[in-house]
Chains A and B, each alone.
Chain A
């Protein structure tokens, strides 16, 4: 990789972005060559998304210069950024749910009032064929899975003619297979000279880049050539300390049955989400659900949380049938639920951290004094949560919409872990959190388990599943195809099941 010879695709000099007293990007300078895959690495709240937002014209830096292909660019709006050849896929989706895929891609792209939909459809199909992205132009975005939305976002950026593509944690929501496909696409993009900025907390992905820039507390710690460094070097640069990977764990206790599914089935919108699921989870046990996203994992957890009602079968929580209980009643029985889509299901962005921490429990005696909410009590508990989860925030009154992605996730974890006395439903708990926090979350989950809490863990990260589970269940099209004690489970047995090959006979 030679970056000195040609004009860089992107040159950023002395970029500084402040939010009030907080300096989110402090004098950051870097260059990216055409065809380079450049990773941004840093802890939650280090300023990666802020940096990308400045490049994409969503935020205006206080100081600094941006050059694209040697030309100074005034990126005062996304429209200008797009015109300069910058494309971006956001950490949180910005698609319009009630529009079709096609409409979402072409919205705002027409010249004048008329849009040539036929031509647009043709180009989109070409692009998706060229890069092997499976998208159906006429489906409603509301009906797409999280992973499918990601493809639409990427095709949209390509459709807009990006020469520099910024991907803010794209793989956080992709399955391992989809991530592989993304990297294949990136290879092709690189071959055609498109530069890619990739933000990821996953070290194995970071190691596949050409160069890595590490940010810490808004400052650029350094830019290194990836093949010259190890993962541990990068971790040190990023966190400033080595991060332990394994946690000691005790043998599973033979607890009583905390949660049991008996023949649970659910179909909606013409699709089978759960098919005759029968499963027992003991107190003090962690069952990891492995599977490609969209195979019923979300619905499995939602059914327990009371958000969807199964068509048949029953779910018992500590011996009690919860089929007729409301979401609130179930939560009050000591069930915590970490949803996969945190900004849609988990947080009110206009609320402060303190308020989000009591969301759903705002009628509880302990948060009230008389008819009013007890702000002293909620603030005090928020301060504790901020400290113990090291949420990077100005204080309990900071609005959650202003938190970085990983820090927002920590707020949800703090609330739900506290709620879960008997059962914790965890959907992608480590999505988008940095490795220091992953270590912390793993520790917390195991501590909960020691306390006798039963945990149902859904994660795209097989690393999470293998590191934490006592038993591993594989889901495919709503069905549990197999369940193994952890020591018997390995990728060779689980992989084929995840692809739906029921007897491990890979086609």
Chain B
């Protein structure tokens, strides 16, 4: 059909980074159009809807910082997923590792309640990394020792830890004395992540997330560890023949990935909710996968994608108030974005060629 117009679709010999960036751009534009249609369908002017969305996300200083608050856990989980996917380790377990990080941090910190912030803050940061890392490391060991596929093991571990937290909170040692909800008591004030700017909720976690992004960027691009991660993503066998222990690489990647995811849990518990409960840390792991893919598995791309997602979530509430569009629509938008991106990415491996003048 297209040939009649004098064009032909041809495969490209390789997809370029530019092509993939373009695919993201096209996906964004296409989802905007589709969302506009959705708004029209519910009888809201798309212009008004988008305007209120943008206003809610970035309209005021407070709104903008709130967007960054929402983006913070997604930066961590996006980075966690990106680093694993770079090595072609399909770690779907950021969700569980977020839980493990939050829980291990809480366990360590609750023993230190009352002590100075200089002690408690390092403990929760390190505790979160250790907890998330070890939990991901479990999947690595299952893979290297027992050949259990990481997709299966990480998903399975996600279920287990959610269940474990529920047990601990329901009747277990962590449940709030006299409370009705499945949650802990408020954490010790000395363990709360400091607020960065007055009259906002933006906390130290955001700064840590940016540092983590810079760290991941330098590590992947410049360090021997990143060299191994990239090599593993391309030809693990060659890496092994050249004397690198592939089990060590797999374990290392999972430990780093899990540690990053663990920080997301810590940052939500100690930066936003000030208590540990499933609702505070749910779904960031799964959204992080989308963020990582849309961020092209690039650390700075992940930061941008996470802020975009934070903006969507944050702006949606305002949009609902102003226009009546249900904020749950945002989750549809996220999914639409991903689908368009994947389609655009597939399309970017083809090109249109003129066959007749």
**Known contacts A76-B10, A373-B223; A349 and B242 CB within 8 A of each other:** no
A60 lies within 8 A of B353 (CB): yes
- In the assembled complex, how far is the CB of residue B345 from the closest CB belonging to chain A, in whole angstroms? 17
**Known contacts A59-B13, A368-B224; A345 and B218 CB within 8 A of each other:** no
Residues of B within 8 A of A77 (CB): 11
Contact-residue bracket for chain B: 20 to 34
In the complex, the chain B residue whose C-beta lies closest to that of A359 is B242
B242 lies within 8 A of A331 (CB): yes
Residues of B within 8 A of A337 (CB): 241
Q: Which of A59, A307, A350 contacts B234 (CB 8 A)?
A: A350
B223 lies within 8 A of A339 (CB): no
Is A351 in the interface zone, CB < 8 Å from B?
A: yes
Is B47 in the interface zone, CB < 8 Å from A?
A: no
The interface bits of chain A over 117-128 (1 if a CB of B lies within 8 angstroms of the residue's CB, else 0) are: 000000000000
In the complex, the chain A residue whose C-beta lies closest to that of B351 is A60
- In the assembled complex, how far is the CB of residue A379 from the closest CB belonging to chain B, in whole angstroms? 13
Residues of A within 8 A of B116 (CB): none
Is B95 in the interface zone, CB < 8 Å from A?
A: no
Mark out the residues of chain B between 205 and 251 whose CB falls within 8 Å of any chain A CB in the assembled complex: 218, 222-224, 227-228, 230-231, 233-235, 237-245
B238 lies within 8 A of A348 (CB): yes
A60 lies within 8 A of B10 (CB): yes
Q: Give the interface centre of A76, A326, A331 by most chain B CB atoms within 10 Å.
A: A76
Is A503 in the interface zone, CB < 8 Å from B?
A: no
- In the assembled complex, how far is the CB of residue B263 from the closest CB belonging to chain A, in whole angstroms? 21
In the complex, the chain B residue whose C-beta lies closest to that of A328 is B243
A433 CA / B228 CA spacing, docked (Å)? 29
Is A108 in the interface zone, CB < 8 Å from B?
A: no
Mark out the residues of chain B between 67 and 115 whose CB falls within 8 Å of any chain A CB in the assembled complex: none
The interface bits of chain A over 297-320 (1 if a CB of B lies within 8 angstroms of the residue's CB, else 0) are: 000000001110000000000000
Q: Which of A327, A328, A331, A355 contacts B227 (CB 8 A)?
A: A355
Is B354 in the interface zone, CB < 8 Å from A?
A: no
B230 lies within 8 A of A339 (CB): no
Contact-residue bracket for chain A: 35 or more
The interface bits of chain B over 10-23 (1 if a CB of A lies within 8 angstroms of the residue's CB, else 0) are: 11010000000000
Residues of A within 8 A of B186 (CB): none
In the complex, the chain A residue whose C-beta lies closest to that of B236 is A348
Residues of A within 8 A of B353 (CB): 60
Is A344 in the interface zone, CB < 8 Å from B?
A: yes
Q: Which of A76, A328, A347, A363 contacts B238 (CB 8 A)?
A: A347
Q: Which of B222, B231, B245 contacts A359 (CB 8 A)?
A: B231
Residues of B within 8 A of A305 (CB): 241
Mark out the residues of chain A between 358 and 375 whose CB falls within 8 Å of any chain B CB in the assembled complex: 359-360, 362-363, 368, 371-373, 375
The interface bits of chain A over 315-355 (1 if a CB of B lies within 8 angstroms of the residue's CB, else 0) are: 00000000000111111100001010000111111110001
A345 lies within 8 A of B238 (CB): yes
A326 lies within 8 A of B234 (CB): no
B8 lies within 8 A of A350 (CB): no
B238 lies within 8 A of A359 (CB): yes
Residues of B within 8 A of A328 (CB): 243-245
Residues of A within 8 A of B228 (CB): 362
- In the assembled complex, how far is the CB of residue B131 from the closest CB belonging to chain A, in whole angstroms? 25
B234 lies within 8 A of A348 (CB): yes
A307 CA / B241 CA spacing, docked (Å)? 7
- In the assembled complex, how far is the CB of residue A214 from the closest CB belonging to chain B, in whole angstroms? 26
A373 CA / B8 CA spacing, docked (Å)? 44
In the complex, the chain A residue whose C-beta lies closest to that of B232 is A348
In the complex, the chain B residue whose C-beta lies closest to that of A350 is B234
B244 lies within 8 A of A360 (CB): yes
A372 lies within 8 A of B231 (CB): no
A326 CA / B230 CA spacing, docked (Å)? 22
- In the assembled complex, how far is the CB of residue A363 from the closest CB belonging to chain B, in whole angstroms? 5
**Known contacts A344-B237, A347-B235; A326 and B243 CB within 8 A of each other:** yes
A344 CA / B238 CA spacing, docked (Å)? 6
In the complex, the chain B residue whose C-beta lies closest to that of A369 is B222
The interface bits of chain B over 244-278 (1 if a CB of A lies within 8 angstroms of the residue's CB, else 0) are: 11000000000000000000000000000000000
A348 lies within 8 A of B243 (CB): no
- In the assembled complex, how far is the CB of residue A408 from the closest CB belonging to chain B, in whole angstroms? 12
A305 CA / B228 CA spacing, docked (Å)? 20
The interface bits of chain A over 54-83 (1 if a CB of B lies within 8 angstroms of the residue's CB, else 0) are: 000011100000000000000011000000
A345 lies within 8 A of B244 (CB): no
A397 CA / B129 CA spacing, docked (Å)? 35
**Known contacts A60-B353, A326-B245, A359-B231; A348 and B223 CB within 8 A of each other:** no
In the complex, the chain B residue whose C-beta lies closest to that of A360 is B242
**Known contacts A326-B245, A368-B224; A345 and B230 CB within 8 A of each other:** no
Residues of B within 8 A of A371 (CB): 223
Residues of B within 8 A of A350 (CB): 230, 233-235
In the complex, the chain B residue whose C-beta lies closest to that of A346 is B238
Residues of B that sit less than 8 Å from A by CB: 8, 10-11, 13, 218, 222-224, 227-228, 230-231, 233-235, 237-245, 353
14 pairs, CB–CB < 8 Å, chain A vs chain B: A58-B13, A328-B243, A329-B243, A337-B241, A345-B237, A346-B238, A355-B227, A355-B231, A359-B242, A360-B242, A360-B243, A362-B228, A372-B218, A372-B222
Question: What 18 additional pairs, Cβ within 8 angstroms, besides A329-B243, A351-B231?
Answer: A76-B8, A77-B11, A305-B241, A326-B245, A327-B240, A331-B242, A339-B241, A347-B235, A348-B230, A348-B238, A349-B234, A350-B230, A355-B231, A359-B238, A360-B244, A363-B224, A368-B224, A371-B223
Rank and list the top 7 A-B pairs by shortest CB-CB distance, nearest first: A360-B242, A328-B243, A350-B234, A372-B222, A327-B243, A345-B241, A360-B243
